[in-house]
Structure 1
Amino acid sequence: MKQLIVINKRTLGLIACAWLCVSIASAQSRSLSLEEAVSLARKQSVDASVALNELKTAYWEYRTYKANLLPEMNFSASLPNYQKAYSAYQQDDGSYTYVRNNYLNMQGELSIDQNIWLTGGKLSIATSLDFMKQLDGTKDRRYMSLPVAITLQQPVFGVNSIKWDRRIEPVRYQEAKAAFISATEDVTIKTIDYYFNLLLAGENVGIAEQNLRNAEKLYEVAKAKREMGQISKNDLLQMELNVLDARSSLTGYESARKSSMFRLQSFLGLEDNEQIVPVVPDTLQAIELSYGEVREKALRNNSFVHNIRRRQLEADYAVAKARGNLRQVTLFAQVGFTGTARDAGDAYRNLKDNQVVQLGVKVPLLDWGKRRGQVKVAQSNREVMRSRLKKETMEFNQNLFILVEQFNKQQEQLDIANRADEIARKRYDTNVETYMIGKISTLDLNDSQTTKDEARRKHLTEMFYYWYYLYQIRSLTLWDWHHNTGIDADFEKIIKE
C-alpha cells in the first residue's frame, strides 16, 4: 500500500512538472495579430517616441512664438551695488585728477513690454526707483524716482521680424502636426514590414518541416522500391539527397526566423524570451482609388504641402531681411516724469518732465556693393528654392500616381497569388500520391514541390504589398480610405500625456 502511494506521488509530481513546463512554454509564446503589433509599435517603439518628442519640440516652439506676441512683465534690480574705488575727475582748468568714491547704490525697475505686430517695434511702460548713499564725507543720500515712463523702440526701414514670424510659425506648426501623424503611419508601415518578414520566415520553416517529413517518407518508400527493383539506384540517391537538402533548408530557415523574430521584438519593445506567433491577417474589402481624389487629400493634409509653403516664406523672408540691411534707421523715444530728493516719499513730489527722442541712422556710404550683393544672393537663393520646390512637387505627384496604380492592381495580384497557392498545393499532393504508385519521376515530384513552395511565398509576399501600399497611401494622404474618414489626433492630449 505504501509502494502504491509512493508511485501515485511520483506520478502526480511528474504530471505537475509537465504541466509547469507546458505553462512556461505557453507563457513564453504569444499569438500576435497585425492590428495588435501596430498598436504596440505606436505605443512602445523607439520610432514612435522620436516622433512624439519631435512633436513636443514643435509644440513648445509654437507656444514660445505665441508668448512673444503677448505683453511681458519684467523686474530688474541691483541689490546692492557697492563701490569703493578711485575714478578720473576733470577739474575746472581741464586737468584730470583721481578722486575716491565710496558709495552704495540700489535700483529697481518694473516694466511691461509689448511687441508691436504691425510695425515690428516695441512699446514699454516702466516705473523705477534709484537710491544712492555716500559712505564718506557728508554721507549724503539721494533718491531718484521715475513713476511712469513710456518708451518706444522702432526700426524704420528694417525688416519686421514679428510680421514674418506670424506668417511662418503657424505653417511650421501645421507641418509638424501633419508630420507627426505621417510618422505614426510610417511606424505602422515599418511594423507591417517586420511582421510579414516574420510571417514569411515562419511559413518557410513550416514549408521546410513539411518538406523534410515528405522527403523522409518518400526516401523510405524509395528504399523499399529499390529492394524490389522498381527504381534505379540513381533515383534512390536522389531521394536521399532530397532529405539532406530539406534538413539544410530547415536549418537555414529556422535561423532566418530567429533573426526576424528578434527584429520585431526589438521594434515593438518586447522581451527577447517572448516568442511571437504571427497570424496571417485577413484581406480588407477591395477598394478602387482615384488618383485625383488621392492627390487632393495629399495636397490638403500632407506635411509636404506645409513644408513647401514654409520654405517659400523663409526664402521671401531672407530677401526682405537682406533689403532691410541696406540701411538702418532706428527711432527711440521716451516720455515720462522724474523726481529726486533725500527721502523716498519726496522723490515722487515736484516731478519734472523726462523726455528723450533719439533717431539713430546707419547708412553705408561705401561698402563696395556688399549689401546689394547680399540682396542679389538672397534673390538667387529664392529662385533656386522655387525651382527645387517645383521639382519636388512634380516628383511627389508622380510617386503618388505610381503608388495608386500599384495599389489598385495589387488586389488582383493577391487574388491570383491566392488561387495559384491553392492549385500548387493540390498539384503537389496529387503528385505525391502519383509518385507512390510509380506513375511520375523524382524530377516531376521535385518540380511540383518547388512550385508549391514558391506559390505559398508569393501569396504572402503579395499580401504584404497589399498592406504596404495601403498604408503608404494613408501616410501620404492622412486619410483612412476604408472608413472614408480623416486621420487626426488630439495633439494637446498627446503632448500632456
Structure 2
Amino acid sequence: MKLNKIFACLLVASAAWQGGYAQETKRNITLEETINLARAQSVNAAVALNELKAAYWEYRTFRADLLPEVNFSAKLPGYYKSYSPYQLDDGSYTFVRNNYMQMNGELSISQNIWFTGGTLSLNTSLDFLKQLEGDKYNRFMSIPIALTLNQPIFGVNHIKWSRRIEPVRYEEAKAAFLSATEQVAMTAINHFFNLLMSKESVNVAKQNLANAEKLYEVALAKRQMGQISENDLLQLELNKLNAQSTLTDSESSLKNNMFQLRSFLALDESEDLEPVLPGTVPEVMVHYDDALDKALSNNSFAKNIRRRQLEADYEVARAKGNLRQITLFAQVGYTGTADNFDMAYSGLKDNQIVEVGFKIPILDWGKRRGQVKVAESNREVVENRLRQETMDFNQNLFILVERFNNQRAQLNIADMADQIAQKRYNTNVETFMIGKISTLDLNDSQAKKDESRRDYINELFYYWYYYYQLRSVTLWDFDSSTSIDADIESIIKH
C-alpha cells in the first residue's frame, strides 16, 4: 500500500516537473526577426495602420464629393388633423379645420462643379394629397424634371482648394505611415539591445563570479602558505560577494527587459528569448546631399510643409471672398397638377426660377477687411515657421548623417577594445595565479573588460539605431539602394 502511494507521488511530481519544463521554451531571436515581428504584431504598428486607414477614408470621402450623388426622399404617408388661421375678405381671421393625408417622393441627382464651385442637380418628384373631410378629393402634383444650379460668384471655390489640399494630405499620411513603420523598428531595436545588454551582463556576471570563487579558493591556499597578505585575501572575498550581488541585479534587469520585449512583440510570456548578437552591419556611406534629396522627395515633412502652405493660402482666399458674397440660383423644369395620376403628367407648364442674391457690406467697421489682414498675417507667420522648420530639418538630417558615418569607426574601435580587454583580463588572471600581480591590477582589468564589452554592444546599438533613423527620415534603404514603399491599398484592405 505504501509503495503504491510513493509511486503515485512520484508520478505526480514527474508530471508537474515535465509540465513546468514544457512551459519554458527557449527561443533564439535575431535583430531582423525582432523588427519583422514588431512591424507585424506590435501595438505601435497597429496604431500607425489605424491612422493610415483614417486618412485613407478621409481621402475617399473627399473623392466621393467630386462624384454625382443620388438621393431619394419620401413621406409615406403624413396625416394631418388640425386647425390653421385663414384670412377672410374683410381682413378678419378665422380658423379652418384641416383633415388630410399627404404623400410625396423625390429623386435627385446632384453634382459638384469643381472648376466653378457650384452645384448642379436634377430632380423629379410627385406629391399626393387626399382631403378626408368636406369635399373629399384627391390631388396630384408632379415635377417630371427640374434642373437646378446653385453658383456662388466672387466667393472662394472650396472644391477647387480641396482638390489641391486633400491629395497632398493623403500623400503626407502615406509617407507618415512608412516612417512610422521604421520608427517601430527603432523601438524594437531599443528593446532588443536592452535585452541583449542584460543577457550579456548576466553572462559576464556569472563568469566573473566563477572567476572570483576560483581566485578566492586559490587565495585561501596561498594565505595558508603565507604567499599573500590578509588584506589581499579579504579583497578577493569582497570581490566574490560583489560578483554575487552584481549577478542578482543583472538577472533582475534581464527579467524586466525580457518582459518589455515580449510585451512589445505580443509574444507569450512562456517564451525565454535568447537574443543573438548581430554578426554583420550594413556597410554603407551616406552623403548628405543625397540623403536630403531623398528626404525632401519621400518624407512626410515635405508634404506637411506643402499642405500647411496651401491651407494658409486658402484661408486668405476665403477671407477675401467674404468681402462680397453673391449667389446665383436658377431652376428650369416642368410641373403639372391634376385630380388623378395620369393627368398630373400631361399639360405640363414651365417651371422657371432665377434668383440672384448678394450681400455686400456697407458699414461693418472694417470687420471683413480686418479678417483679410488677419489671414494674411497668419500666412506670414506660417511661412516663417515653415522656413525655420525646414532649416531645422536640414540641420538635424546633416547631424544624423554625420553621426551615422562616424559610428562605423566608433564600432570598429569598440570591437578592437573589447578583444584587447578580454585578452588582457585572461592574461592577468593567469599572472595572478602565479603571484605576479596584485588584486588591484586584477580588479582593474576585470572592470575594463566588462566596460569594453558594454561599450561594444552600445556602439552596435547606436549603429543600427542611426541606420533605421536614416531610413525613417529618407524612406530609402541605403543597403539595397531602393526606396521604402508599400502597396497602401492592399495593406488597408487586408
TM tier, smaller: over 0.9
Equivalence for 2:471: 474
Secondary structure of 1:231's counterpart equals: coil
Greater CA deviation, 156-165 or 362-371? 362-371
1:280 aligns with 2:303: no
Which residue, out of 151, 156, 160, partners 1:159? 156
For residue 67 of structure 2, what is the aligned residue in structure 1? 70
Displacement of 1:60 in angstroms is: 0.6
Q: CA deviation at 1:327?
A: 2.2
Q: Show the 5 A alignment for 1:80-479.
A: 80-479=77-476
Q: Secondary structure at the match of 2:107?
A: strand
1:3 maps to which residue?
A: none
TM-score of the aligned structures, taking structure 2 as reference length: 0.96
Identity of aligned residues (%): 65
CA 424–143 in structure 1, closer or farther in 2 if over 3 Å, else same: same
What's the Cα RMSD here? Answer: 1.8
Displacement of 1:267: 0.5
CA distance in 2, matches of 1:21, 1:97: 93
SS in 1 for 2:76: strand
Amino acid at match of 1:414: L
Deviation at 1:324, TM superposition (A): 1.4
One-letter amino acid of the counterpart of residue 24, structure 1: A
Counterpart selection for 2:22 from 16, 24, 37:
24
Matched position secondary structure for 2:308? helix
- Where 1:277 maps in the other structure, the secondary structure is strand
Q: Which runs of 5+ in 1 are unaligned?
A: 1-5
User: For each residue in 1:117-144, what CA deviation from the matched residue of structure 2 results, as whole angstroms up to 9, or x when unmatched?
Assistant: 1110000011111111111110111111
- Runs of 4+ aligned residues of structure 1 deviating over 3 Å after TM superposition are 12-23
- The SS at the match of 1:164 is helix
- Counterpart AA for 2:125: S
Task: Determine the C-alpha separation between the residues in 1 that align with 2:415 and 2:442.
Answer: 22
Q: Residues of 2 paired with 1:122 and 1:317: CA distance?
A: 20
Distance of 1:473 and 1:258 partners within structure 2: 31
| Counterpart AA for 2:344 | A
Q: Distance in 2 between matches of 1:489 and 1:196?
A: 27
- Residues in 2 aligned to 1:486 and 1:174: alpha-carbon distance in whole angstroms: 15
- 1:50-108 C-alpha deviation (Å, 9 max, x unpaired): 00000100111111111110011110111112111111111111221111111111111
Please state how far the C-alpha of 1:252 moved relative to its aligned partner: 0.9
Tell me the SS of whatever aligns to 1:276.
strand
* Letter paired with 1:39: N
The amino acid of 1:421's aligned partner reads D
Give the distance between the partners of 1:237 and 1:21, measured in 2 at CA.
45
2:106 and 2:125 in contact (8 A); partners too: yes
Cα distance, 1:19 vs. partner?
A: 9.4
Q: Distance in 2 between matches of 1:285 and 1:181?
A: 20
Partners in 1 of 2:28 and 2:143 — Cα distance? 76
Alignment size in residue pairs: 488
Unpaired runs of at least 5, structure 2? none
Q: Secondary structure at the match of 2:278?
A: coil
Cα distance in 2 for residues equivalent to 1:79 and 1:330: 34
Q: How far off is 1:284 after superposition? A: 2.3
CA-CA distance at 1:17 after TM superposition? 6.5
CA pair 18-451 structure 1, distance change in 2 beyond 3 A? farther
User: What displacement does 1:15 show?
Assistant: 13
Distance 2:210 2:12 in 1: 31
Q: Deviations over 1:28-52 (max 9, x none)?
A: 2211111111111111100000000
- State the Cα distance separating 1:283 from its structure 2 match: 2.0
SS of the residue aligned with 1:107?
A: strand
Please list, as runs of the form range in 1=range in 2, the aligned pairs for 1:19-58 lying within 5 A after superposition: 20=18, 24=22, 27-58=24-55
Among candidates 457, 462, 486, match of residue 483 of structure 2: 486
Q: Deviations over 1:189-246 (max 9, x none)?
A: 0000000000001101111111111111111111111111111111111111101111
C-alpha spacing 1:138/1:145, structure 2 compared with 1 (3 Å): same
Moved more, 317-326 or 444-453: 317-326
The residue identity in structure 1 corresponding to 2:362 is L
